[in-house]
């Protein structure tokens, strides 16, 4: 028996000694497996909670975007251009950042189509 195999056997014996059978409701379960089940249930619940919050957030943002889209549809294109110019005059730095972000997104989209 090699040194590696001896270490594996030693580890197996230690693991078997560490698992203590616990009787619950007439059943015998490993304490370790019971803890794993509880952790899995807890993580499953956390995942469900996070999915619910993400869904609510997405629905809220989709409704907001729909409202803004309707507002834009109702406006005259000339008025939209004037509003954009006025925004650029009031906040030039933010306008440059927005333009750069839009350029990056468009660049990635066009590059991805190749």
**Domain regions of the chain by residue span:** 1-74, 76-114
Structure tokens at 51: 């999915």
More confident residue, 37 or 111: 111
**How many residues would you count in the chain?**
114
- The mean pLDDT value of the chain amounts to 82
Structure tokens at 4: 């590696």
Handedness of CA 57, 54, 102, 63 (dihedral sign): negative
More confident residue, 107 or 21: 107
* Mean pLDDT of all residues in 85-93: 93
- Indicate the pLDDT class of residue 1, thresholds 50, 70 and 90: low
Q: Report pLDDT for 28.
A: 47
pLDDT over 60 (residue 24): no
**Beta-carbon count within 10 A of 37 CB:** 11
* Mean pLDDT of all residues in 8-21: 70
Q: Report pLDDT for 11.
A: 78
Q: pTM of the entire structure?
A: 0.42
The residues facing 24 across adjacent strands are 27
* Mean pLDDT of all residues in 28-54: 79
Q: Report pLDDT for 62.
A: 92
């Amino acid at each position: 028996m090699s040194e590696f195999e001896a270490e594996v056997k030693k580890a197996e014996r230690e693991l078997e000694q560490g698992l203590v059978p616990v009787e619950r409701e007439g059943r015998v379960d490993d304490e370790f497996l019971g803890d794993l089940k509880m952790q899995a249930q807890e993580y499953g619940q956390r995942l469900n909670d996070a999915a619910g919050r993400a869904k609510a957030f997405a629905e809220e943002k989709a409704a907001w975007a729909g409202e803004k889209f309707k507002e834009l549809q109702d406006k005259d294109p000339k008025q939209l251009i004037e509003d954009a110019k006025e925004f650029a005059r009031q906040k030039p730095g933010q306008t440059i950042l927005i333009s750069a972000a839009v350029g990056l997104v468009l660049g990635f989209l066009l590059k991805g189509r190749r």
